Amino acid sequence: MKKTTQKNLIFLTRSGIIAALYTVLTYFTSLFGLASGPVQFRLSEALCILPVFLPEATVGLTLGCLVSNLVTGGHILDIIFGTLATALGALGTQFLCRIKHFPYVLYTLPSVLSNAVIVPLVLCYTLNGEFTHAFYWPTVGSVALGEGVVCFLLGTLLYLAIKKRPYILGG
């Protein structure tokens, strides 16, 4: 097998595994009513740290979010813009981890920010029917809080586990 073909196969396989893991974790979280809505606590968002280690994680996270929003009955706006928020967050994480001396506990900050800005806009129109400041700003706070807890706490724990045992990722 050619080296580029093998690299592509590894890239696709890892992306698929990450997408599947994201989907399973989101579905599990949805069983408790915490995967969507104004209060979100998606365990799958802890995986947003993975672009630090694997560029293919950005593809996997984006596809995983898309599939998750489809299987959990997301509104078309959430399917499109929620997936966009995840993609932007993962790309931002890839960028931040390349900045020398940037604190690793903040690598997932782009995921928190993109979801905190975009998801409440979606919720304004899907739950409230229109944009209102009275609905948007509290929802920004609740989405940012849930996303922050999962990304900063669980994402950092995942980061430290992978740093200690890099073979976890099969590298």
Confidence band of 25 (pLDDT split at 50, 70, 90): very high
Q: Where are the domains of the chain?
A: 3-33+41-169
Q: Residue 171 has what pLDDT?
A: 59
CA–CA separation, 50 and 58 (whole Å): 8
CA–CA separation, 27 and 136 (whole Å): 25
Confidence band of 1 (pLDDT split at 50, 70, 90): low
CA–CA separation, 45 and 145 (whole Å): 13
Name residues whose C-beta falls within 8 Å of residue 12's C-beta, 6 or more positions apart in sequence.
56
Domain covering 3-33+41-169 in this structure, CATH number: 1.10.1760
Q: What does pTM read for this prediction? A: 0.94
Instruction: Give yes or no for a contact between 78 and 120, defined as CB atoms under 8 angstroms apart.
Output: no
Q: Residue 166 has what pLDDT?
A: 84
